[in-house]
């Protein structure tokens, strides 16, 4: 049975156009100016239809940390935020380091997820054969923690990384890297030992730590030419290095992302939010946030991804040193960015490119990312005039909080459609 979305402004061919859309068997089968007949219809008068968001960086915490998030709660959070596809990170328990781990996680998510999904495999310096085996089974990307982070040891041996980069080039895999330099972090930690305020985090995991790691990674990539993706870029120095690399010999293979919390918050927010915005890499001073914003608008930053990393409020209330790093965000990414577009702070086309089109292109989601005949029916219906306020108590993530709590937004995700299935 087909479903028609009628009388809407749909984002097709790079702009909003008055269209009617027919969905059949999970696919977009017709886009027309004329009325389309079907047994089921959703009248979208006054609404806009957009591609569903693709969040290429989430931590849904399964297996091992289901008390923080699971595929039911994570899916609900994604759906209510207009995200239809997620890519989950490997730092679970056990970590995703083998083909068996990868396939077990797929089986687990397949039973509980209501959104499209895939998984990164982690690199521990000695599991190249497992990564190669998974590449035959559809693996898209490998995650490297160049600097240590939550549940992950740093892997900064350049000889081992060179072997991974060579394999990735051969197999067409994206190598996504958490780029921070452990030696710089250790030096800063020793120097600032004794301080207890959360804003210490921006001084320990500073822009130098990020820039040192990115410089080493880009130098290696420039020799090999593999697909290298810098995750959660957080500093002006880091961005400048990526911009320069994009102009180099293998620049087309270098991409980067920024999170909404790095894009919209700076270190002044520690005073109010404390450990709630403790994350790796850290949220940095205003000059870094402004550089990231300008880079986003200028298309120097490829995609927006959330690094959705839920922890409990009890964990976040611990003293700074003991509180875990991570910020939930899959539920608020699209609403925050749509609000900026509807308030004319950035073009809607830039938001769609960064949240939908480019993630699909970079990570090879060939049937997603756009509203086009023949592609998957992963869509969101948005009321562009309706305002709402982000409220902790209304969130679906198990974390139950957002650093954007209390922020009033324009543009409400009324319905989310995943593979033709309507939610909302």
- 2.40.30.10, 3.30.2020.30, 2.30.40.10, 3.40.50.1000: CATH of 3-48+374-387+408-423: 2.30.40.10
* pTM for the whole structure: 0.97
Q: What pLDDT shows up at residue 149?
A: 59
Q: Where in the chain is the domain with CATH 3.20.20.140?
A: 52-362
- Nearest of 269, 276, 329, 281 to residue 305 by alpha carbon: 329
- Whole-angstrom distance, CA of residue 384 vs CA of residue 414: 10
Q: Where in the chain is the domain with CATH 2.30.40.10?
A: 3-48+374-387+408-423
* Domain 52-362 falls under CATH 3.20.20.140: yes
365 dihedral zone (left: phi>0; alpha: psi -120 to 50; beta): beta
Q: What pLDDT shows up at residue 412?
A: 98
124 dihedral zone (left: phi>0; alpha: psi -120 to 50; beta): alpha
Q: What pLDDT shows up at residue 270?
A: 96
Q: Is 307 a catalytic residue?
A: yes
Active-site annotation holder among 307, 339, 376, 378: 307
Query: What does the pLDDT profile of the chain (424 residues) look like in tens digits?
Result: 799 999 999 999 999 999 999 999 999 999 999 999 888 999 999 999 999 999 999 999 999 999 999 999 999 999 999 999 999 999 999 999 999 999 999 999 999 999 999 999 999 999 999 999 999 999 999 999 996 655 556 678 999 999 999 999 999 999 999 999 999 999 999 888 777 788 899 999 999 999 999 999 999 999 999 999 999 999 999 999 999 999 999 999 999 999 999 999 999 999 999 999 999 999 999 999 999 999 999 999 999 999 999 999 999 999 999 999 999 999 999 999 999 999 999 999 999 999 999 999 999 999 999 999 999 999 999 999 999 999 999 999 999 999 999 999 999 999 999 999 999 9
Q: What pLDDT shows up at residue 193?
A: 77
How many degrees, rounded to 5, is the angle at CA 104 between CA 102 and CA 106?
70
- Whole-angstrom distance, CA of residue 354 vs CA of residue 55: 10
Q: What pLDDT shows up at residue 153?
A: 61
CA 57: distance to chain centroid?
A: 4
- Tokens 């028609």 identify what position? 4
**Residues in a beta bridge with 412:** 383
With beta carbons less than 8 A apart as the criterion, state whether 260 and 337 touch. yes
Q: What pLDDT shows up at residue 239?
A: 98
With beta carbons less than 8 A apart as the criterion, state whether 366 and 6 touch. no
The secondary structure of 233-263, three-state, reads CCCHHHHHHHHHHHCCCCHHHEEEEECHHHH
Q: What pLDDT shows up at residue 103?
A: 97
Q: What pLDDT shows up at residue 150?
A: 59
- Nearest of 265, 267, 279, 212 to residue 241 by alpha carbon: 212
């Amino acid at each position: 049975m087909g479903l028609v979305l009628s009388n809407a402004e749909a984002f097709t061919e790079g702009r909003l156009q008055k269209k009617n859309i027919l969905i059949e068997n999970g696919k977009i089968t017709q886009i027309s100016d004329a009325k389309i007949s079907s047994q089921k219809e959703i009248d979208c008068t006054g609404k806009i239809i957009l591609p569903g968001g693709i969040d290429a960086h989430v931590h849904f915490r399964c297996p091992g940390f289901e008390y923080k998030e699971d595929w039911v709660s994570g899916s609900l959070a994604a759906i209510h935020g207009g995200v239809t596809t997620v890519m989950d990170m490997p730092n679970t328990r056990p970590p995703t380091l083998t083909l068996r781990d990868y396939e077990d996680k797929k089986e687990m998510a397949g039973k509980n997820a209501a959104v499209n999904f895939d998984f990164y495999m982690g690199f521990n310096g000695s599991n190249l054969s497992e990564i190669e085996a998974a590449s035959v089974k559809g693996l898209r990307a490998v995650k490297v923690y160049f600097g240590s982070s939550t549940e992950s040891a740093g892997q900064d041996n350049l000889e081992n990384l060179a072997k991974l980069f060579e394999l990735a080039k051969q197999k067409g895999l994206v190598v996504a890297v958490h780029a921070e330099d452990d030696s710089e972090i250790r030096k800063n930690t020793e120097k600032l030992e004794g301080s207890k305020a959360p804003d210490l985090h921006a001084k320990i995991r500073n822009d130098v730590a990020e820039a040192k790691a990115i410089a080493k990674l880009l130098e290696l990539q420039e020799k090999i030419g593999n697909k290298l993706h810098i995750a959660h870029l957080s500093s002006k120095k880091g961005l400048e290095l990526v911009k320069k690399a994009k102009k180099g010999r293998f620049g087309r293979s270098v991409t980067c992302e920024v999170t909404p919390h790095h894009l919209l918050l700076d270190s002044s927010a520690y005073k109010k939010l404390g450990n709630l915005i403790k994350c790796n890499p850290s949220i940095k001073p205003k000059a870094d946030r402004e550089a990231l914003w300008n880079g986003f608008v200028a298309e120097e930053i490829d995609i927006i991804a959330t690094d959705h990393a839920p922890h409990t409020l009890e964990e976040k209330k611990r003293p700074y040193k003991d509180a875990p790093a991570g910020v939930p965000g899959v539920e608020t990414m699209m609403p925050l960015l749509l609000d900026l577009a509807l308030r004319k702070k950035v073009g809607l086309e830039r938001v769609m490119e960064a949240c939908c089109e480019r993630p699909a292109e970079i990570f090879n989601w060939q049937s997603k990312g756009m509203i086009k005949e023949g592609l998957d029916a992963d869509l969101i219906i948005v009321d562009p005039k309706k305002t709402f306020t982000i409220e902790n108590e209304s969130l679906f993530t198990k974390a139950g909080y957002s650093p954007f709590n209390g922020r009033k937004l324009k543009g409400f995700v009324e319905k989310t459609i995943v593979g033709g299935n309507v939610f909302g």
